[in-house]
Amino acid sequence: MTERAHAIANRVERFVREVVIPYERDPRIAVHGHGPPDDLVQEMRARARDAGVLTPHVLPDGSHLTQRETAIVLIRSGLSPLGPLAVNTMAPDEGNMYLLGKVGSPELKQRFLAPMLAGEARSAFFMTEPALDGGAGSDPSMMLTTAIPDGNHWLINGQKAFITGAQGAKVGIVMARSAQGACMFVVDLPDPAIRIDRVLDTIDSSMPGGHAVITIDNLRVPSDQMLGESGEGFTYAQIRLSPARLSHCMRWLGGCIRANEIATDYACRRKAFGKLLVDHEGVGFMLADNLIDIQQCQLMIDWCAGVLDTGSLGTAESSMAKVAVSEALMRIADRCVQVMGGMGVSGDTVVEQIFREVRAFRIYDGPTEVHKWSLAKKVKRDWLKIHPA
Angle at 8 between CA 322 and CA 58, to 5 degrees: 70
Section 58-63 average pLDDT: 88
pLDDT band at residue 241 under the 50/70/90 scheme = confident
Question: What's the pLDDT at 228?
Answer: 85
Q: Is the pLDDT of residue 166 over 90?
A: yes
Question: What is the per-residue pLDDT across 69-120, written as a single tens digit (0 to 9) for each?
Answer: 999 999 999 999 999 999 999 999 999 999 999 899 999 999 999 999 999 9
- Contact indicator for 119, 88 with CB cutoff of 8 Å: yes
Question: What is the per-residue pLDDT across 333-349, written as a single tens digit (0 to 9) for each?
Answer: 999 999 999 999 999 99
Q: What is the set of domains in the chain, with CATH numbers? A: 3-90 (1.10.540.10), 123-229 (2.40.110.10), 234-386 (1.20.140.10)
Q: Is the pLDDT of residue 31 over 70?
A: no
Question: What's the pLDDT at 230?
Answer: 87
The three state secondary structure string of 270-334 is CEECCEEHHHCHHHHHHHHHHHHHHHHHHHHHHHHHHHHHCCCCCHHHHHHHHHHHHHHHHHHHH
Section 29-36 average pLDDT: 78
Section 354-363 average pLDDT: 96
Q: Is the pLDDT of residue 255 over 70?
A: yes
Q: Is the pLDDT of residue 132 over 80?
A: no
pLDDT band at residue 32 under the 50/70/90 scheme = low
Mean pLDDT (the chain) is 94
Question: What's the pLDDT at 1?
Answer: 83
Distance separating alpha carbons of residues 106 and 89, to the nearest angstrom? 22
Q: Is the pLDDT of residue 138 over 80?
A: no
pLDDT band at residue 297 under the 50/70/90 scheme = very high
Distance separating alpha carbons of residues 329 and 257, to the nearest angstrom? 9
- Contact indicator for 76, 12 with CB cutoff of 8 Å: yes
Distances (CA, A) of 165 to 103, 135, 150: 22, 20, 29
